[in-house]
Every structure is written in structure tokens, then in C-alpha cells.
A and B are shown apart, each in its own frame.
Chain A
């Protein structure tokens, strides 16, 4: 992304800053430094389609590239090369580097939270440069340094959209920006806007560099153990009551009734695929917490989980797993720290609160982690897989109403199946496993 935005590297900028400082003390820069300074002049504006007059008429108040214009006029190599450059000129040149430094720092933030398959970030080289912290490109803005707002969307003469505001909530803002570049397999679902940005942000904020293979395995075991508990509860009324009470704290009443009926009727194989991974995960974890005297209820996964918890309790600790495999809830929890909230699905409400809907869905990252564990992948590979898989999931969503959770599950399972068939990633199994 930094390359596509034609940003100058931090190393280069710092080196040039030092070179100018030394020049101010009378030391002439080496030739390679002058050459390096050429990077500040590499960027070119896109070939214009509109005249300045047309832009003034058709994009008044939107098109403003003052910041980029200043950069285009800066000639750092000339100052470095000139044997007669004055101290004032050298100081000015150093000051001009600040403009490039700003862009690179902003760009690094953008790059860190780049949504999978981003297009605007890769095709509009003005996008980072146009980030407007102070609202200079728009009149009448009353609130500055708030979460970034997208300006210039749908204004062809405006030079492309850009953000106005701070970098707060940047992951969501970038996901919101890029969501319409995802081409759905079917037509865009009704709940697209309520779901997609949050799902994408949930795939870009968490990182899995410090997750151990045992932790990853624990995630899979909790989900499988939950499924085993459900299976066992079909033939054990007491256990079924315990299971349903636990699930009732996460499921809507209608959904709880459906599960209860399915368990009573012995339709376990039909019901299990309809369970959300976050629900089975929670069921297993909560059952262990509430009924510690009932270890071994379930099957092989439950027994393996018991063993893991006994030998490596820290690796199977709920709080740790919640931190490493949860999703951010900036609206519900007022922070970006990933965690598993364990709550009922939230209804889709208008406006800002519509983010509650997606934030209450914690399943994808748990499911991707299970797939990675069962596929023999190293946990660090989640950094590669999760954005890809989440994007694919979004492409497959075709929910017909706001409460169409089964459709999300279908899209997730379909994506998982393609992953298991090796259709989604060229990487070999076991890649990067220590």
C-alpha cells in the first residue's frame, strides 16, 4: 500500500533530515544522498481529466490538493546539491520534509489496517496525501478531530474521496470505504452495510503473532467440546437442561426453543451445523466453569480439552483466548481491544447503533482458528488467512433480512469448505508451523 501511494520511506526521510542538518553545519552531502532525495520528487499527479475551471465549477469545496501542491514544489535535491544554499533555504527544506513525514506516518496507519482486497488505497495515489486532519478541504465543519468522515464520494471532478478527521476509528473507516469494492457472489445483501465494515475490521485489527499452537488447538477443542455436549444432551435430560440454561444467555428465545426441540427429537446431526461457533465455544467454556465436577461429559474432544486445561491451564484460559480470538467492539464496549462478549445477537437499529448488529457476532475468527488448527497450520498463518477468508465470507453473504443469521453461517461454512479444499490459498499445510 505504501508503494502504491508513492510514499517516501521513513529511513529515507530521516537520512535526508540528517543530511540537511549537516549541510547547515557546512558539510556537503555525499552524492548518493542527493540521489536519495530524488525520491521526494518521484510522485506525479494523475493526468488531469478536468481543467481547473471545471474543477472549481463542478467540485467546489471538495477538490483541494494544497498539501500535495506544496510537496510538488519542494526541491530537496536542489538544496542539497547547491553549494550556495543559505541557512534559511536549508531550514525551509527541512521543514518541507515534515510534509512527507506526515504522509508516511499516516500511510503506515492506513497500511496496518488495510482491508483485504483494498482498491481505493491501491489506485488513488492521492488518498493518503489528502487525509485532512484540520478540515481545511471542507467548509462549515463544526467538529474536528473526530472519527474520520469520507468526503468527495460520488464527485468525479473532486479528485477522489478522502478522509476528514482524526485517525480514530480508522479500521472501521477504511473498511467502510472499501466495502463496495467487494463483488458479492449474488446481489448485495440487505444487511451489507450493517455487517460488512465491522466484519472487515474484525479481520484487520486482531493479530496472531504471539498465539501458541496449544492456544489455537484449545480454540478448536472448545468448539468441538461444545458440540459433544450438545450431542450428549440429546439423550440426557439433566445435561440438556444444563446446556440450554447456559445457551439461553446467548441465544434469542426463539432460537433456544428451536435447539431444545431439535435435541428432544434427537435431530442432533441436523442441528449442529446450525450452531454458531461462538455458541459452542461459549457452551464448553461455561459448562467447565459452572460444572467443574463433571469433567469428561461429552467425548474425545472434551477429554482432550480436560487434559490440556490440566497440563497447560494458561493456554486454555478464557481471558487469554478471549483476548487473542475475540473481535473488537468499539460501539458496544467502547474500546478496540478484541474480546469475546458473550451476548445475544443485537437487533439492527438505525444509525451508529447499527454497528451493534455485527459487533454481536463473534463467530468468524473462532471458526477460522478451528480450520487452521484442523488443517495443521501455524497460528501466525491466521494473519494471512483471516483477512482472505473474511473477504470471501462477505462475498458469499446473501441474507434476505436483518435477522437472517443462518445465512451468515452458511456463507461462513461454504468459505470454510473452500479453504479446506485448498481453493482459497496457495500456501501449503504446515506452513510456518514452528
Chain B
């Protein structure tokens, strides 16, 4: 609710480059940059990969291009995002060192925790999927059923083009039925389809993730994975890729899956085969349930290009933990975004 009240902000850092200014003495380029609130999904784990829960906003330090940023909203797991002021009023924060035990993450707690996420499932229905198609359908169905209380789920499939099989909905039955309606065939344009899926996801507020089920190779896309990854980073959408060991035979896909997911704060999994993907599904579910959501409004920053984001934990007790989140974004100078107010830095509130 609070997030809906947060306005989009315009950070004027000078004047638009498209204009010819009457300031002849000034020699360094200035920029207008439109930046929405930047939202981060952050996973915190110990050395064994167990999730660390119970952290508070003051435990995190966010920097953009080395500029320390002030956290605007914060949430853990299924909590609705709240401003720090609200948190101060409503919470009795635990001290940094007084953390909850690393979660064992049983399925029973998952349902409550994942509430609020928008999960876009992108299913590979290309020729590469013929042999394992039915097994993959079963696996996706099980995954969707397991997301009982996730806010909304969409199912898309792709081969040469994208099919929006089930639009974003809270109706699990509709999505499961949609899984069964998919058919396999044609070339594989994974990165084209992923781009379109990310664009749909970016239209929504709240946590957004895309879970891709793909057997690997792309033989038809015209957009490169670099542009897709940048869009995901700028829109604040985490990508999870679930594939099979067969994909590992194709080093290009393996490299893209690992690097693209890492850059967006997600993960890549290579299951033994489609019948053996349960661990990957469980891991994705756990990840969704234990993400911290932090947001900030960037302080004035003259960098109109790629902006690096770093998040770290403060305090000796916390430094040992690992953080996973997106590593940056590229804002669009106003010359390039006139009239386009879609989230350019991720999850701009409506």
C-alpha cells in the first residue's frame, strides 16, 4: 500500500542533452536521468547455503557507484514492503547479532512466505523438448501447485515465438490446465521469448521473478543474451533457469544460464534430467521465500551509463554471510526515455 504512494521521481542533474544550453562556460556533460525507485531482491546465505533470516534494514549497506544510498523500503520473505519509518513504528527490531537460526525451509513454511511474488514460468516447447516434454510438463505442474500462496503465476511457452498460455493469475487451476495445453515443436528463440516475458513482468509491482525451463540451445533469437540480462537488471526481475545436464553439453547455453542468472540475482540449475528436477524446484521455491526486498531512491549520480550496485552486511557477525542480488542497472537518459515511464531501474511503484 505504501509503495503505491511512493511517486516516481525525476532526478534533474542539469539539463537535457537535446537542448542547446546557454551556459557556454560549462564544459562537463550534464544529464537528465529518469530513475524510478530501485528495488533489490537479496538472498543471504551462510557457507552451507542455508538462508539467513531475521535481518533488519540497518544490517544492510547499499551503494550505487560507491555512493551510499538510503534504504526506502524493506521486507523479508512474505512481508509487504514497508518504509523504514513504518518499520520503526511497528516493529521491535532485533539487534543485528540476534538472528533467527538458518532456516531448514520446510514446505510448510514456504506457502506463507512466498506470498506477494509474481512468478512468470517460461516453458521451452521447442524441438529440443520433444523427448522430455511430458516429464517437463509434470515437473512444471508440480512446481505451480507448490506455489499455493504465491500471489500470482503466469505460464508462457516458447519455441520460435512466445505464447502467453496463461496470463498472470492467482488461479492455480487455470495455470495447471494451461500447462497441459502446451505443444512442442519448431525452433528455439529463448532469448527473444525471455525478453518479452521480462517486459511483461516489469509491468507489475512487487517481487518479480522469471523461472525458465529450458533444455538449452537457442537457434533462432535475434536479440543477444546481454541485452536480455541488462533489461532484467534494469527492471529488477530475477531470472532462474532450470535445465538438464544435457544442456551442459552445449557450453554456450551453460555460460549464459550461469552468468545471466547470477547477474540478476537468480540461479541456474542443471538437473540430471526432467524427472530429477525436484531439488531445483525446491531451491527456487526456497529462494523466493527468503529473499529480502530492499529499495532506495538513487542519490544524484552523474553517471548516465551502467551503475554498479553493491550490497553488503555490516557488523562482524554478519560479514561471513554471502549475498546474492543484481549487480547494477542502466538508467535511461531522458533523451532516450521521453514519454516512457516504465520501470527503468526496477519495480517502479504504480
Residues of A within 8 A of B (CB): 3-4, 6, 9, 30-32, 34-36, 38-39, 42, 44, 46-50, 54, 58, 77, 81, 119-120, 123-125, 150, 152-154, 156-161, 177, 180-184, 187-188
Chain A residues, CB < 8 A from B229: 47, 49
Q: How far is the CA of A154 from the CA of B330 in the complex (A)?
A: 25
B252-273 with Cβ < 8 A to chain A: 252-253, 255-256, 259-260, 263
Give the size range of B's interface with the partner. 35 or more
Minimum C-beta distance from B229 to chain A (A):
6
Minimum C-beta distance from A174 to chain B (A):
11
Residues of B within 8 A of A (CB): 17-18, 20-30, 160-164, 183, 186-187, 189, 191-192, 195-196, 218-231, 251-253, 255-256, 259-260, 263, 304-306, 328, 330, 333, 335-338
Minimum C-beta distance from B348 to chain A (A):
18
- Residue from A32, A184, A188 within 8 A of B26 (CB atoms): A32
Minimum C-beta distance from B251 to chain A (A):
7
Contact yes or no, A3 B25, CB < 8 A? no
- Residue from B30, B161, B221, B226 within 8 A of A154 (CB atoms): B221
Chain B residues, CB < 8 A from A47: 226, 229-230, 263, 306, 328
Contact yes or no, A49 B259, CB < 8 A? yes
Contact yes or no, B230 A180, CB < 8 A? no
Q: How far is the CA of A46 from the CA of B255 in the complex (A)?
A: 17
CB nearest to A150 among chain B residues: B222
- Residue from A30, A42, A44, A120 within 8 A of B222 (CB atoms): A120
Chain A residues, CB < 8 A from B253: 156
Q: How far is the CA of A129 from the CA of B161 in the complex (A)?
A: 25
Contact yes or no, B17 A38, CB < 8 A? yes
- Residue from A49, A125, A152, A159 within 8 A of B256 (CB atoms): A49
Chain A residues, CB < 8 A from B333: 42
Chain B residues, CB < 8 A from A119: 192, 195-196, 223
Contact yes or no, B230 A35, CB < 8 A? no
Minimum C-beta distance from A357 to chain B (A):
19
Other A-B pairs, 17, CB within 8 Å; known A54-B255, A119-B195? A3-B337, A9-B18, A35-B26, A35-B29, A36-B20, A39-B29, A42-B304, A44-B306, A47-B229, A58-B251, A124-B222, A125-B227, A150-B222, A156-B225, A160-B224, A161-B223, A187-B183
* A-B complex: 5 closest residue pairs judged by Cβ atoms: A38-B29, A154-B219, A160-B224, A161-B222, A46-B226
Q: List 12 A-B contacts (CB under 8 A).
A: A9-B18, A35-B26, A35-B28, A39-B29, A49-B263, A58-B251, A124-B222, A153-B222, A159-B226, A177-B222, A181-B192, A184-B163
Q: How far is the CA of A189 from the CA of B183 in the complex (A)?
A: 14
Q: Which of B224, B306, B336 has the most CB of A within 10 A?
A: B224
Q: How far is the CA of A398 from the CA of B338 in the complex (A)?
A: 37
Contact yes or no, A31 B160, CB < 8 A? no
Minimum C-beta distance from B168 to chain A (A):
14
Minimum C-beta distance from B315 to chain A (A):
31
Contact yes or no, A123 B26, CB < 8 A? no
Chain B residues, CB < 8 A from A58: 251-252
Minimum C-beta distance from A64 to chain B (A):
13
Known interface pairs A81-B27, A180-B161, A183-B164; A154-B186 also in contact (CB < 8 Å): no
CB nearest to A81 among chain B residues: B27
Known interface pairs A159-B226, A184-B163; A3-B195 also in contact (CB < 8 Å): no
- Residue from B161, B260, B305 within 8 A of A49 (CB atoms): B260
Chain A residues, CB < 8 A from B187: 154
Q: Which of B22, B226, B330, B333 has the most CB of A within 10 A?
A: B226
Contact yes or no, B227 A123, CB < 8 A? yes
Minimum C-beta distance from A20 to chain B (A):
16
Chain A residues, CB < 8 A from B338: 3
Contact yes or no, B21 A35, CB < 8 A? yes
Contact yes or no, B305 A31, CB < 8 A? no
CB nearest to B200 among chain A residues: A183
Chain A residues, CB < 8 A from B306: 44, 47
